[in-house]
Amino acid sequence: MISPTVKLRRLKTRAFALALTALALGTTPTLADGDSFVIKAKRVYPVAKESSEVFEPGMVIVRDGLVVAVGKDLAIPPDLKVINLKDAHVVPGFIAAANSMTPKHAGDESVAAGYLALDAFDNYGDFQEALAEGVTTVHLDPGSHRLLTGQGAIVRLGGSPMSRILNERSDLTINFNESAYGPPNDVTYQTPASSDVAIPPGVRQRPDSRLGQFVALEEALRVAESGTKSGLHPAALTNAWRNNAPLRIHVDRSVDITGAVRFLYNHKRSGYLVGGAQADITAQEIAEAHVPLVFVMGEPLDAISNDLGPDPDVVDRDIQALKKLRGATIALAPPAGARVDQLRLSAATAMRAGLTEAETLAAITRIPAEILGIDDRTGSIERGKQADLVIMSGPPLETSSHVKRVYVGGLVAFEAPYVDAVVVHAGTIWIDENTRIEDGSVLIEKGRISAVGTSVPRPRFADYIDAGANSFVTPGFIDAFGHLGLDGDTSSLNPNLSLASMVGVPDVSEHRVAMSGVTTVLTAPYAASPQGSQIAAIKTAGTTRDKRLVRNAASVYFDVRKGDPAGVLGKLKPRLEAGKKYLEKWQKYEKELAEWKEKKAKGEKIEIKKNGDALDEEAQEEDPITGTWEVTISGGPIPEPQQAKMLLKLDGADIEGRIRIPGQPDEAKVTATFDGKHVSGQIDVETPFGPPAIEADLTEPDHLVGELKISDIVIDLDATRTDKEDVQFKVVKSRKRGKDGRPLPPKTDDGLEPIRAALEKKIPLLIAASNQQQIAQVLKLASEFEVGIVLLDAEGAAVHFEKLIELAIGVVVPTKIVRWLNHTPYHQADDLSRKGVSVAFQSDAEDGARSLRNLGLHAVQRGMSPDAALSAFTTRPSKMFKLEDEIGSLKKGCHGDLVIFDGHPFEARTRVKRVLVGGEEVE
Amino acid sequence: MKSNRDRTEIVVNRRFSIQFMTALAALLIATATFASPPAKIALKGGRIIPIVGEDIPVGTILIEHGKIKAVGKDVEIPYDAMVVDVTGKVVMPGMIDAHSARGLDIRNENLDVTPFLDVYDAIDPSKLYFEDALRDGITTIHAIVGHNCVIGGLSRAIHPIGITPDEMTQQPSVSLKLSVAPQNRSDRMAQLATFRETFRELAEYLDDLAETKYEESLEKKDEKIKVGPDEAKKLGKDLIKPEDYDDKHRNLVKLTGGQLGAFVYAGRAADIAAAESLAKQHGFFDQTTLVLGPRCYKAIEEIKATGRPVVLDSQLLYREENPITGKITETFIPKVYADAGVAFSLLPSGDTSLAERYLNYQAARCVRNGIARKTALEAITINPARAIGIGDRFGSIEVGKTANVVVMSGDPLDFSSWVDLVYINGIRAYERESDVRLKQLLGEEKPEIPEQVKGEKNEGAPVDPKAGHSKGDADKLEAPAPNEMTKDAEKKKE
């Protein structure tokens, strides 16, 4: 039956779900296109020219691919979707102003302005490696192997292929470097060649020396200025020169830097330098001339460099140079020959020279944009610029930070592959009652904790949660006895039934409990069956059944509170004995199987008996079932009572037999279990509703009363034993063997399986007891059967504390933390834990479990130590239920269930900030 | 540059080419009866796939003087027609190879800009390729230089029968070959710079020529020049006659003047824009056919917008690995074009050991990957004919068209079907019954080994393919030009 309150609750749940669906289906206005959105992030670095302000938390509003607004707290336009990236650091796309993305051209000409770097650009390329390190814009270079190699271009690496070109002819590329010396002779082939059309000898080209480079260039420029010489390259140079193309001059040596600066001054040309290995010597000159420099870092990070550089006194030339260059306009570029994806990290090494984080970040974003003349479009996150955004997992220049996503022009150009890993960094990490780490991290991979400590691995693309210095991380709380998900069903449960069958997708009430920090509930029925009811350890969050189920049968719940002290064990003991027999059967089977395997391994011949091995005779003192029964069935749809005959045979707790049901031509097989009083089983007959079930009680010797159930139809059953011999029905009980002589396992009994597990000490029994006498009886039983036990409520437990410690029995204390005992207030949890007994808290409620932490608050207020209270929510219950390798602590191997608080969980002001279950955030 | 070793190889191969020429000619004459073909032929009773128009389940094709006179269910057969019963067989137009350098002795010259060349000088009628083409049902081949050039030579449409290039020619001067994708001796910057330089030099040449012509015209009239050079260039323009152009520029003038087709090779998606702007700038966009490398499909939007015919590479599947995740994605390239509604032509593979060498297999792969049967069949017949500019004469079975017809034992997309008969210009050019080499290959006939060849064989020298070598061996004799080899290696690298 469903109570009205439960019905109401279910209705509410449904209404909530419906509201959610309605929301998703668009009761809100239609959202704008893909390149319009709002990003909310932990921190936004606009890298603006005027101020180096960082917004924390920050927001960026993007419309049609352009940044509309950036700030801390902006009004969100109603038509834009909000992308909430609460751990993300957002920086402008990085710009590689010098790189080796384009190969050098294959021409021989020393001065050849007709080569366009853009021709070598594949605008359909996906550039995932560069984007994965945040590089969104690059300068393309026609090469640095000739004096004037051609014209550069500036492109972005994402967006639609046709929109990627920012400047197709951005500059004239000049090299005052040794690499440009000694160009090959320039040969013009006369085609078609013939005997009278000779191939002329090659023309020697300049430069061969430092002097030659200036002569050759000046000469070429004079010709270009006059515009008289025909040919592709001279014409291109004339054009570029007349259009005032900026000069991009590659220089490394100090003399050449001086020469380049003078060259720019003489020709009154705008331009910039690239390289600058010896810029330290000419730093002042560069700064005074206001010539910007794209400083190419010298040390590649992915290889050991044997090139010590020209100056033997310089140990680390990058730092030397950058220190002296303070004050000049400097952009940073990855080492020559290195891939652009090294830009971020090699730039970060510049901070060794004293650059601040803001300066370094600007040197790979805003400053290169200014130098390249694209600062009106990109280089910073400011109103009106392209939304070239890099979403990072941590501070942009920190080594372990990873790029999670990249937008180019508001479109996603890179999305980090999904990695089932998350790192949580916190001020305090409470692993268990003995260990806590200050300023440490937890790594959760594939749902389990794989590392915890002050320094943990940060797998590439893993999520990163920096909870802050004040944060306090604990294992997910465990409700040691709750009813979450039962939806008010207060009936006791059949011992065969597993609660795990009700586990599905978490609903609203489970979500609320999870958000409160309670991640696992030992879910029990409201009332225990006399034969014991199964308890399941179920998580409050998780997308699949497997993720939610910690243990199917975590315990068996018995209740001895109501019985008189002497009769307490009347119900419990036979069940344990039945379990013991069942266990022995299995042990025997396992032994035989082991022997068989050994024999097989040795290659011995295995004899296969036809009738199997004879079963050992079991002395049966008194058999209440075996024999012939006259059955009367009546009621339900049957108009008149009908007679039937049933032959039964009892074997241990199993009943086998046959029955002739009226209206059925043949005899049907009966299988049932017997626990001393109750017969529960089924008749193997095909009906549309499945086989009919028998439930009957032995009301007096030789008399069974009960019912026969087919779907909803209930038929009364009344049977009397007329003969105790199983004359007509003889079961040849034999232990069956498989075809290869392998022993076959005994029949599985779902009800006894958990008892067997308990007897094998895999799980404990949960026994609700209250007074001292009941507890004494339970303790006696525990010793006798050597079975693990957890006591529920157990108000009188304190007297037996020594025994409890000896037998390692824990107590789940009642929800009433302090009660009156002998006219004084008594704090059971505190008392027991001080005495050394394991204590756990329970909610004894469904979604009331969300207030579970309040019990701890209360307990601490009345004197319990905060750490003892915390362990009573985490490590203690997990140990009691032998789940310590699964949940309840933050040690390696446990489930990634953790709660991030902004202080100690038992400070009243402390809030639950975030909850992770199986490494996935509950939100 | 070719090494010395390569050179000797070519010489050796040439020697063999000459040896085979005679043997092959004999074979071709034996299989193809092109001495005085019957004036009227009726192919009767077969299933006709005309490509243009509906299939005819049982019909007759009437060929008169090398042209298709009538097609249909009930065609009246003249009394004097030679009736060929093709009941139960399938008749389709001869397949067309839209781009092949395999009939040439060398794919490319080692100069970048060679518009003065003509494949006429390179076609080697003794190539086994032609025999194979006939056997595979290919009746028209667009013989054109390979991709390793900036501006290659003139191409021509040929059929695989005949013992001289003249005899083989169906259409001379089809197009000029251009390649915007650099091959093994260049890079993209240099490749495109060479194009700009070539066309700039052409303009300069034309100006100079005009000026000269104007001066000459004045000299004839004994007048003195009164105008400046710019004016002279303008005035002289109309005085230029076609024969005035020199070899180097003649074909380029034809190209920019719209009198010559252009087959422009683009290797990757980014090349499409370059090819398009080049063609538009220099006035040959309307005659352009795009020859596309496997990766070009990414620019499908751009390709579609050009509206130009498209020839696809024989590699139909493109595999790509994500460098971050290692995930591999596969694209069946023709599907992308078919889905976008772009008419494309398929090419057979140059590797004769693969099934991809059969055009009908390439079409069958398309059908298997979800392309309509009609589209797939068009891609090996009428589309290549139109791309070459001979769609009015070839590529379908229509009244008035040249009688290039293939009779197959079953459906062309069924891979157990054989080519039974091939008619070219109404001439029975191939019949399987008389295909000696095929029979030898299938072991139906023992090869005759002449005495002296036996002797040579013992010395390890290559043997006359007729003398019973497997086909693979025979193909090795087909003078693989060294840069052809390196090119294939290059291709694989890409």
Residue A232 contacts B where some CB pair is shorter than 8 Å: yes
The answer to whether the Cα torsion of A493, A494, A497, A502 is positive or negative is: negative
Q: What is the rounded average pLDDT of the residues A606-622? A: 50
Determine the Cα–Cα distance for residues A282 and A287; give it in Å rounded to an integer: 9
Report CB contact under 8 Å: B190, A105: yes
The CATH class given to the A477-570+755-887 domain equals: alpha beta
Among A106, A121, A189, select the one facing B111 at the smallest CB separation.
Answer: A189
Let me know how long chain A is.
923
Q: Are residues B191 and B150 in the same domain?
A: no
Q: Which amino acid is at B309?
A: P
**What is the arithmetic mean of pLDDT over B349-369?**
93
> Does a structural domain hold residue B75?
yes
Query: Under an 8 A CB cutoff, do B269 and A124 touch?
Result: yes
Helix (H, G, I), strand (E, B) or coil at A723: strand
Query: Distance between CA A830 and CA A832 in Å, rounded?
Result: 6
Read off the pLDDT of residues A481-495 as tens digits, 9 standing for 90 and up: 999 988 888 877 788
Q: At what angle do helices A828-835 and A866-873 cross, to 10 degrees?
A: 100
Same domain, B68 and B157: no
From the list A342, A380, A375, the residue with the least C-alpha distance to A361 is A380
CB contact under 8 A, A191 and B204: no
Residue B327 has which token pair? 């995930």
* Per-residue pLDDT at A620 exceeds 90: no
A337 — pLDDT class (breaks 50, 70, 90): confident
Look at A13-27, A439-453, A771-785, B410-424 and tell me which has the smallest mean pLDDT: A13-27
pLDDT over 60 (residue A800): yes
What's the token pair of residue A769?
Answer: 């007891």
Of all residues in chain B, the one with the smallest CA distance to A122 is B270
Nearest to B156 by CA among B148, B164, B166: B166
Asked whether the beta carbons of residue B298 and residue A124 sit closer than 8 angstroms, the reply is yes
**Given the DSSP bridges, would you call strands A66-71 and A58-63 parallel, antiparallel or unpaired?**
antiparallel
Which two structure tokens, joined as six digits, stand for B202? 């052409």
CB contact under 8 A, B324 and A115: no
Q: Min CA distance, A398 vs chain B (Å)? A: 21
pLDDT at A418 over 50: yes
B170: in domain: yes
Burial letters for B12-43: b for 16+ Cβ neighbours within 10 Å, e otherwise?
Answer: ebeebbeebeeebeebbeebbebeebbebbbb
- A124, A160, A194: which to substitute to probe chain B, counting the most B Cβ within 10 Å? A124
Q: Is the pLDDT of residue A99 over 60?
A: yes
- Axis-axis angle for helices B359-368, B333-340 (nearest 10): 70
- A231:B197 CB<8 A: yes
Domain formed by A29-92+380-416, architecture: Roll (2.30)
Residue B280 resides in a domain? no
What is residue B456's predicted lDDT score, i.e. its pLDDT? 46
Is residue B146, in this structure, part of any structural domain at all? Answer: yes
Q: What interhelical angle do B188-220 and B247-256 show, nearest 10?
A: 100
Enter the tokens of residue A272. Answer: 């910039």
CA–CA separation, B286 vs B195, rounded Å? Answer: 19
Nearest Cβ partner of A114 from B196, B248, B302?
Answer: B196
With 90 as the cut, is the pLDDT of residue B16 above it? no
| Closest CB to B270 among A122, A150, A417 | A122
Shared domain for B229 and B167, answered yes or no, is no
Does any CB of chain B come closer than 8 Å to the CB of residue A150? yes
B173 in the same domain as B199: no
Residue B107 and residue B137 in one domain: yes
The radius of gyration computed from the CA coordinates of chain B, to the nearest angstrom, equals 25
ipTM: 0.80
Q: What is the reported pLDDT for B18?
A: 55
Q: Which of B228, B256, B284 is the last residue of a domain?
A: B256
CB-closest option in A115, A124, A128 to B323: A128
Whole-model pTM?
A: 0.81
Number of domains in chain B: 3
Q: How confident is the model at residue B484 (pLDDT cuts 50, 70, 90)?
A: very low
Chain A interface, best mutation among B149, B151, B189, B331, by max A CB count within 10 A = B189
Residue contact A235–B200, C-beta within 8 A: yes
Tokens of residue A613, six digits: 């091995």
Taking the Cβ of residue A127 and every Cβ of chain B, the question of whether any pair is shorter than 8 Å is answered with no
b (16+ CB within 10 A) / e for A75-89 = eeeeebeebebebbb
Domain spans, chain A: 29-92+380-416, 95-185+203-378, 421-471, 477-570+755-887, 627-723
CB B215 within 8 A of CB B227: no
Q: What DSSP string runs through A21-37? A: HHHHTTSSPPP--TT-E
Contacts (Cβ under 8 Å, ≥6 apart) of B358: B136, B137, B348
Tokens 């075996």 belong to residue: A626
Among B113, B114, B187, the residue with its CB nearest the CB of A106 is B187
> Residues of B with CB below 8 A from A112's CB?
193
Q: Which residue of chain A has the CA closest to B322?
A: A128
> Minimal Cα–Cα distance from B122 to chain A, Å?
17
Question: How near does any CA of chain B get to the CA of A116, in Å?
Answer: 6
Q: Collect all residues of chain B within an 8 Å Cβ-Cβ radius of residue A231.
A: 197, 200
* Residue A344 Cα to chain centre, angstroms: 27
Residue B371 falls within a domain, yes or no? Answer: no
Q: Is there a single domain that holds both residue B57 and residue B171? A: no
Q: What angle (nearest 5°) sits at the alpha carbon of residue A845, between those of residues A840 and A848?
A: 100
Find the closest chain B residue to A141 by CA distance: B189
A161/B270 CB distance under 8 A:
yes
pLDDT band at A674 (very low <50, low <70, confident <90, very high): confident
Domain boundary among the residues B210, B226, B256 is at B256
Residue B98 to residue B388: CA distance in whole angstroms: 7
**What sign results for the dihedral spanned by CA atoms B266, B270, B273, B274?**
negative
- Asked whether the beta carbons of residue B116 and residue A103 sit closer than 8 angstroms, the reply is no
Q: Are A31 and A79 in contact (CB under 8 A)?
A: yes
| A91 touches A437 (CB < 8 A) | no
- The CA angle A765-A766-A767, to the nearest 5 degrees, is 110
Specify the CATH number of the domain A95-185+203-378: 3.20.20.140
**Do both B244 and B228 map to the same domain?**
yes
Domain range spanning residue B199?
Answer: 186-256
Residue for token pair 């008389």: B434
Distance from CA of A233 to the nearest CA of B (A): 8
Cβ-nearest to A124 among B111, B188, B299:
B299
Q: State the number of CA atoms in the 13 A half-sphere of B182 facing the CB.
A: 19
Three-class SS of residue A895? Answer: strand
Average pLDDT rounded to a whole number, residues A321-333: 91
Cross-chain Cβ contact B193/A417 below 8 Å: no
> Which residues have C-beta within 8 Å of that of residue A852, sequence separation ≥ 6?
A477, A479, A516, A518, A841, A843, A873
Of A65, A61, A86, A87, the residue nearest A76 (C-alpha): A61
Run of H or E including A4 = helix A4-24
| pLDDT grade for B25, boundaries at 50, 70 and 90 | low
Q: CA–CA separation, B71 vs B43, rounded Å?
A: 10
CB atoms within 10 A of CB A439: 12
Domain A421-471, CATH class in plain words = mainly beta
| Cβ-defined contact of A120 to B188 (cutoff 8 Å) | yes
Handedness of CA B288, B289, B291, B294 (dihedral sign): positive
Residues in chain A with CB shorter than 8 Å from the CB of B191 are: 119
Tokens of A511: 């979500």
Does B323 reside within a domain?
Answer: no
Q: Note the pLDDT of residue A616.
A: 45
Q: What is the pLDDT at residue A664? A: 62
- Mean pLDDT, residues B480-488 taken together: 44
CA distance B70 to chain A (A): 50
Report angle CA B240, B241, B244 to the nearest 5 degrees.
85
**Domain A29-92+380-416 identical in fold to domain A95-185+203-378:** no
Residue A386, strand partner residues: A66
- Count of A-B CB contacts under 8 Å: 82
- From A138, A129, A132, A131, select the one nearest A99 (Cα to Cα): A138
Lowest mean pLDDT, pick from A124-138, A551-565, A717-731: A717-731
Sign of CA dihedral B266, B267, B273, B278: negative
Task: Please give, rounded to a whole number of angstroms, the shortest distance from the CA of A818 to a CA of chain B.
Answer: 58
Q: Does B44 lie in the same domain as B164? A: no
H or E segment to which residue B276 belongs: helix B269-281
Of A769, A793, A795, A799, give the one whose Cα is nearest residue A781: A769
Q: Give me A468's structure tokens.
A: 């802050």
Task: Work out the number of other CB atoms within 10 angstroms of the CB of residue A690.
Answer: 12
Query: Token digits for B223?
Result: 């007048």
Are residues B107 and B23 part of one domain? yes
**How much is the pLDDT for A563?**
63
Please compute Rg for chain A using Cα positions: 41
Peptide bond into A200 cis (omega under 30): no
Rounded to 5 degrees, φ, ψ at A463 are: -70, 150
Which residue of B197, B247, B248 is in closest CB contact with A232? Answer: B197
C-alpha–C-alpha distance, residues B55 and B442, integer Å: 33
B245 shares its domain with B152: no
The residues of B whose Cβ lies within 8 A of any Cβ of A are: 111, 113-114, 116, 185-193, 196-197, 200, 204, 247-248, 268-270, 273-274, 295, 298-299, 302, 322-325
In tens, the pLDDT along A230-266 reads 889 999 999 999 999 999 999 998 899 999 999 999 9
Give the Cβ contact number of residue B490 at 10 Å.
14
Q: Which of A106, A161, A232 sits opposite B186 (nearest CB)?
A: A106
Within A168-316, residue ranges assigned H as helices are: 210-226, 232-242, 254-267, 283-289
User: Which DSSP category does B54 fall into?
Assistant: -
Which amino acid, A671?
Answer: T
* B448 occurs within a structural domain: no
CA distance B148 to chain A (A): 15
Residue A690 identity (one-letter amino acid): G
CB A134, CB A345: distance < 8 Å: no
Shared-domain flag, residues B137 and B15? yes
Tell me the CATH number for domain A627-723: 2.40.160.90
pLDDT digits (tens, 9 = 90+) for A825-850: 999 999 999 999 999 999 999 999 99
Nearest beta carbon to residue A106 from set B116, B190, B302? B190
The answer to whether the CB of A324 falls within 8 A of the CB of A295 is: no
Q: Which chain A residues are closer than 8 Å to B248 by Cβ?
A: 191-192
* Cross-chain residue pair A161–B196, CB shorter than 8 Å: no
How far is A94 from A364, CA to CA, in rounded Å?
Answer: 6
CB contact under 8 A, B189 and A115: yes
3-state secondary structure at position A652: coil
Q: pLDDT value at position B3? A: 45
pLDDT digits (tens, 9 = 90+) for B274-317: 999 999 999 999 999 999 999 999 999 999 999 999 999 999 99
**Cis peptide before B182, with omega less than 30 degrees from 0?**
no
Mutate to test the interface with B, among A104, A135, A145, A191 (most CBs of B within 10 A): A191
- Domain shared by B193 and B47, yes or no: no
Q: How far is B42 from chain A (nearest CA, A)?
A: 51
Q: Confirm or reject contact between A187 and chain B (CB < 8 A).
A: no
**Does any domain span residue B399?**
yes
Specify whether the CB–CB gap between B44 and B85 falls below 8 A: yes
